Structure 1
Amino acid sequence: MRIMRLFIGCWLFLLILGQAWAGVLTKAELARRFPAPIVVGDKETDLPVWPLFRQNATATELVGYVFESVDLAPIPGFSGVPVNLLIAIDPKGSFLDVSVLSQHEPVFLDGLGEAPLFQFVKQYQGLSLKQNIAIDARKKRAPDATHADIDGVSKATASVRIINQSVLASALKVSRKKLGFAQGRDPDQIARIRMDVFEKLSAAQMLKQGLIQHVRLSNKDVETLFAGSPGAGLDVEATRAPDGVFIDLYLAYVSVPTVGRNLLTERSWNKLRNRLDEGDHAILVMSRGRYSVLGDDFVRGTVPDRLLLKQDGLPIDMRDLNLELRLSEETALPTENIAVFRIISQAGLDAASPLAFSLPITRNKGIVYPERIARNVDFSFRLPADFYSAPQGDDATWRGTWKNRKAELLTLLAGLALLAGALAWQKRLVREGRQFTWFRRLFLVFTSAFIGYYAQGQLSIVNITGVIQALLAGRSLGFFLFDPMTVILWAFVLLSLFIWGRGTFCGWLCPFGALQEFTGKLGQWLRLPQWKIKPRLDGRLKWIKYGLLAAILGSSMFSSQITDKLVELEPFKTAITLNFVRAWPFVAYAVGLLLLSSVSYKFFCRYLCPFGAALALLGRFRLFNWIPRRKECGTPCQTCRHRCEYHAIAPSGKVDYGECFQCMDCVVIYASDEKCAPLMLEIKRARTIPIVRATAEESSNAA
């Protein structure tokens, strides 16, 4: 308890002295990075940016602005320290340069190395804030005015999302303030479609209310567009039949329930809803005539080039859902050409703002190298206010990460619920020793395979040092929200600490701990000689992890560089996050600990793990002594003590919950009438008929 108070006191003292992070660049350093003919101006007073100029004859023209992301969007990474980026944008909102000034992301320090990070940020050069920048695009396309796909970094998905958020958030702040961008809205501060509103309407009524947009172009209308240009008179059919229908187009905001449920059959509406995530939008396109939005060479599932969408001047990406939908019989709308386009929630489409559509029409003149002449037919429509809700409060873009990992999170929650139920009703769990053994084995497989390798949910001392460094710098802890697995696991572990102690995580939910348990059991099965550590030495070795914890926490308050080195005492990043794909010293260390566990059961967990030490200290606030004990435990029975491979039971029979890993072997013994000596003796006594000396009267009566 004294150790815990000491740590808390140190943290509070240094929190008072902590100062916020700030940029590190100077004008001289920027001049070195942006040499002549570029001239670096003085730092602005209203915003921490430096203007960049170029002398053009007698005029001085603005080239752009350069700034540090930590000054404008200090979003902490997983070490608790923000990645600091140098960002330069031109007056049109295009990225001139993005480079890394400093970073403390664990995965890029001695793990993957910094090269993948440098390669990742280099992709922003030449891209524009007017483009929808997507990470980890499955089918990478050449960038255009609407979108740009950039490659992510394997094993660092959450980190690059945080970096991307830092780049865009800081650049948009500068663009709003200095460049007058109206489209730089927060994608979560937008109106949302009200899914609880439905009104029975006919197609005519929806057209009148603006829920369906109708555009009809005759051949004559299109010919008028090209009048006076090289494209005039090239369409022979239009000349021959000027009143003929070029395109009769209907656009419907079909993700609005009032529109979708009235236009589509019930089966088609349900099919559409199953293809849309929360916050997505869908536009139904119906047309007839000579010209189709899809075109003869259109590939299903791609972005159309004959129908474009913008909002506040910002291009919005629409993608074909490749979904066959049936209109209800009452609609009387064209069914010759039907397609539905999806707009993902991350695009930031505001349901309250007008949707500006463009219908490009192209004519070719010439045969060998034809000249392309294009004209646009622009139209828009706005969703009535009854069908959307205004934005409420401040929000953050981490929500998209949670939505994208919904299946993983539900799986994790199901696993945690199963574990909590099993531990809460431990009497049923340990009733059959063999069944308990298999339950534990299967759950540890779930922990290592799903939580560890698949979902990358290994909790670590880095989580704690990240919190400390963020609080010292006065920053938010919102960076955790970019990793929902960590948030949910921490919530469960903190709750379990106050109920059962540190053992719930260390014994059930630590992926590396599960690997150690498997190697330990394998070593026993192979009958490898086991290193039996004497109790006195065991007691001394257990203090090592507290010393390592103190060193790491102390360094996190003064030097993040030292902390980056010390946290490598944990093999979690090597074994779980990077799957042993790392420099050989780190791999040798992690593999060595696993091999050591095969002859000394979970050696690292018991003696070296600083994270386990932190949980042990927090577990001292445990509410229950949940391991059942009998008065004979320790006096005279020593069965559980000798069977405990963690040496967590004293000769007196008292359980040291700070060293208990909740393997529940002693609970199984307690409930077994074949293993628990006091219980076996109690049963034996109950079955024995006592012999009592007969009295003289009883003897005479018997005679």
Structure 2
Amino acid sequence: MACSRWRRRQRALAAALAWLLLAALALPALAGVMTKEALARRFPSPLMVGEKDAALPIWPLLRQNATAIELVGYAFESVDFAPVPGFSGTPVNLLVAIDPKGSFLDVQVLSHHEPVFLEGLGEAPMFRFVEQYRGLSLTQSVAIDTAPRGGPRNEGSLVHIDGVAKATASVRIMNQSVLASALKVARARLGFAGAADPDQIARLRPDVFERIGFDDMRREGMVGHVILSNRQVEAAFAGSAGEGLDPEALAKPDEPASEFYMALASVPSIGRNLLTPASWTRLSDRLEPRDHALLVAYGGRYGVLGGDFVAGTAPDRLLLKQNGLAIEMRDLDLDLKSAEPALRGKSLRVFRIIGQSGLDLAQPLDLALVVKRAKGIIYPERINREFSSALRLPARFYDAPVANDKGWVAIWRQRWAELALLAAGLAVLAVALARQRALVANPRRFAWFRQGYLLFTLLFIGWYAQGQLSIVNLTGALQALRDGRGLEFFLYDPMTVSLWAFVFVSLLVWGRGTFCGWLCPFGALQEFIGKLAQRLRLPQLTIRRHWDARLKLLKYLVLASILGSVFVSAELADKLVEAEPFKTAITLNFVRSWPFVLYAGALLAASAVVYKSFCRYLCPFGAGLAILGRIRLLDWLPRRRECGKPCQTCRHRCEYEAIRPDGGIRYEDCFQCMDCVVIHQSDDLCAPLILEKKRARVVVIHAATPS
């Protein structure tokens, strides 16, 4: 009867969780909250906040310059453009301001629900982190260092900023929010529309060099060639105001007007074959890492440089484009010599394309000669025509970009060693649980194995790798689904994802006890304290069975309260998740304000006299796993028909009170300590085996010897 009532309660709790999930999907998503007045307080005089853009949720920032009003930049909220969920499931909302060139004027935190910064590390490290973006540019690649080094450090096109220890995943999510939202605004308003992310483009392979002939380079598209006759140029202006304005073109239509070759001389297999060794060395010395150099050899009466061209500036008659977007280039003012006979006798100019420009070697590159004509004297009408040629670099000269390397993929790569060690540890545990009879064959060896594995869980998974699964994972998922967002934010914490993958499988096979009994760092810490207390012979409190059953229901009440708060108030949810001491004891190593340390310490002290009391009675995450564990496929702990009838050895030895009087296992309360399996397999501990052993004993009776 009691068992059927308990199952009905669990079904009701599962149904309640399903309704909470459906309710989450029906709630509206977040949007920006700033008003013009609020922005004016954050950007005071001499700045002025203009009217909100009609098409985008952005605000122009203006400044009075004499009689003119000039645009200083745009301000916007990250949640309107890149609502990347944080670990609470709710995005961090950042106020971002960028200037017309794509540099950051300011980044401020408007709101957040990141657990590690709420009554944990505090918000100060978060504020210091976002302050580092001031003065950085969207054309730079941003790398986040785990060890602070004193602020941003520029290394050419790469800039390093300080991360926050214990909050690595959170700051990466914030970085993604800042850059993704700013790039969207830059593409829409600053002409960044076709620009590639500098971290998502093909990279030159500087160690690759081939001897290639000039004709072969032209056939492969590595060298572009344009020859324009006067007739072609005139035909391009036909029907416009520029028609007939060049007398020489009209008088000599078949003579050349302009001719030029172009090539990416920064590619060793191009530059070293086209230039003399001294010129190649001179060019290489002038280029920064990731920079490119465009070599142009030209002739004809209409050159690629105008009469008022100034050395070291951008060319006025050449236009470089990729995917329809103009890419800036500047003259390097180098006197170079060509080793290629086809280029001798022509003028040579080399133009630098900075690495931050986003030029992608895997995409075609177009160079256009702009022919300009003007009609009129006082207010001349200017008419331009473009004549272009395309370049394409063969794939053997570059490395293709790796998708999403700027986001969560990078952190997975950085933590490959930790993930490999975790995978090995999980494999060991899976094999051990699958071969439980061999595992417990020697009780002493099993005890050493279990204590050693729990030490691995506490020291490596918990304190070192920060892999403590938590109720925050569940509330974060619910909040993300509530706001109509995906769960990609979990990918920024590879340890959490890897552990969850294993836990989901283990729930199917063995139930909730695999995590709670073997993989929970706080649970391992409690167990060590409990065992130490028993060795020190501290008095142990015995909870009566009927009270134990009632107290175990508390954790389901805590779980329901926390999950329900998600749909009431994010602030309330932030407070209720502190029922878990995991953040204090594991994530922050007790470096926290005293009320939280006192709470976590009290729970650990309680576990010294009531074995793993928090896990058994209060843990909301354990309650959630107990409900999810109902999908378990196997009743895998071995039982005999004598278990419970009459033998009660395992039941009385079970410190979790997870064995019913009839000998059955309550898997929702079982922590897989496997003490009952040790007893079950032992001829010296299991009462039915001891009895069988006695019955099988043969007593030899000898006849009495006559005296």
Which position in structure 2 is the counterpart of 1:204? 211
- Of 159, 176, 183 in structure 2, the residue corresponding to residue 165 of structure 1 is 176
1:666 is displaced (CA, Å) by 0.2
1:59 is displaced (CA, Å) by 2.1
What SS does structure 1 have at the residue aligned with 2:142? strand
Mapped to 1, the partners of 2:454 and 2:14 lie a distance apart of: 34
Quick check: 34-43 or 616-625, which moved more? 34-43
TM (norm. structure 2) is 0.73
Larger Rg: 1 or 2?
2
Mapped to 2, the partners of 1:577 and 1:483 lie a distance apart of: 13
**Alpha carbons 1:355, 1:381 under 8 Å: kept:** yes
- Of 47, 64, 70 in structure 1, the residue corresponding to residue 56 of structure 2 is 47
Which position in structure 2 is the counterpart of 1:622? 632
Matching of residue 552 in structure 1 with residue 562 in structure 2: yes
Where does 1:486-635 land on structure 2 (aligned, <5 Å)?
Answer: 486-635=496-645
Where does 1:459-478 land on structure 2 (aligned, <5 Å)?
Answer: 459-478=469-488
**Alpha carbons 1:75, 1:162 under 8 Å: kept:** yes
1:251 is displaced (CA, Å) by 5.8
Which position in structure 2 is the counterpart of 1:2? 11
Mapped to 2, the partners of 1:161 and 1:44 lie a distance apart of: 29
1:683 is displaced (CA, Å) by 2.3
- Of 291, 299, 310 in structure 2, the residue corresponding to residue 310 of structure 1 is 291
Where does 1:30-429 land on structure 2 (aligned, <5 Å)?
Answer: 30-136=39-145, 142-143=153-154, 146-181=157-192, 184-186=195-197, 190=201, 203-205=210-212, 252=268, 307-310=288-291, 350-353=360-363, 383-385=393-395, 397-429=407-439
Which position in structure 2 is the counterpart of 1:700? none
Quick check: 9-18 or 108-117, which moved more? 9-18
Unaligned runs of 5+ in 2: 1-9, 224-264, 293-321, 330-354, 367-389, 702-707
Mapped to 2, the partners of 1:423 and 1:586 lie a distance apart of: 35
1:135 is displaced (CA, Å) by 1.4
1:9 is displaced (CA, Å) by 3.8
Which position in structure 1 is the counterpart of 2:468? 458
1:394 is displaced (CA, Å) by 8.3
1:4 is displaced (CA, Å) by 3.1
**Alpha carbons 1:51, 1:64 under 8 Å: kept:** yes
| Counterpart amino acid of residue 188 in structure 2 | K
1:13 is displaced (CA, Å) by 3.9
- Of 436, 439, 445 in structure 1, the residue corresponding to residue 455 of structure 2 is 445
1:590 is displaced (CA, Å) by 1.1
| Counterpart amino acid of residue 15 in structure 2 | L
Q: Residues 625 and 314 from structure 1, CA distance in 2 versus in 1: closer, same or farther, beyond 3 angstroms?
A: farther
Aligned residues with identical type, % of pairs: 61
Which position in structure 2 is the counterpart of 1:29? 38
Mapped to 2, the partners of 1:519 and 1:45 lie a distance apart of: 62
Which position in structure 2 is the counterpart of 1:266? none
| Counterpart amino acid of residue 84 in structure 1 | N
**Alpha carbons 2:457, 2:524 under 8 Å: kept:** yes
1:560 is displaced (CA, Å) by 0.8
Matching of residue 656 in structure 1 with residue 637 in structure 2: no
What SS does structure 2 have at the residue aligned with 1:53? strand
Mapped to 2, the partners of 1:428 and 1:151 lie a distance apart of: 49
Mapped to 1, the partners of 2:170 and 2:269 lie a distance apart of: 36
1:309 is displaced (CA, Å) by 2.7
1:50 is displaced (CA, Å) by 1.1
CA RMSD of aligned residues (A): 3.5
1:670 is displaced (CA, Å) by 0.4
Q: Residues 672 and 192 from structure 1, CA distance in 2 versus in 1: closer, same or farther, beyond 3 angstroms?
A: farther
Mapped to 1, the partners of 2:442 and 2:76 lie a distance apart of: 65
Mapped to 2, the partners of 1:630 and 1:600 lie a distance apart of: 29
Mapped to 2, the partners of 1:548 and 1:346 lie a distance apart of: 51
Mapped to 2, the partners of 1:652 and 1:508 lie a distance apart of: 26
What SS does structure 1 have at the residue aligned with 2:110? strand
Unaligned runs of 5+ in 1: 195-200, 215-248, 255-282, 296-303, 316-344, 357-379, 692-703
1:125 is displaced (CA, Å) by 1.1
Quick check: 532-541 or 40-49, which moved more? 40-49
Mapped to 1, the partners of 2:141 and 2:21 lie a distance apart of: 43
| Counterpart amino acid of residue 497 in structure 1 | L
**Alpha carbons 1:130, 1:314 under 8 Å: kept:** no
**Alpha carbons 2:21, 2:478 under 8 Å: kept:** no
Mapped to 1, the partners of 2:80 and 2:99 lie a distance apart of: 19
| Counterpart amino acid of residue 447 in structure 2 | T
Mapped to 2, the partners of 1:14 and 1:117 lie a distance apart of: 32
Mapped to 2, the partners of 1:189 and 1:686 lie a distance apart of: 75
TM (norm. structure 1) is 0.73
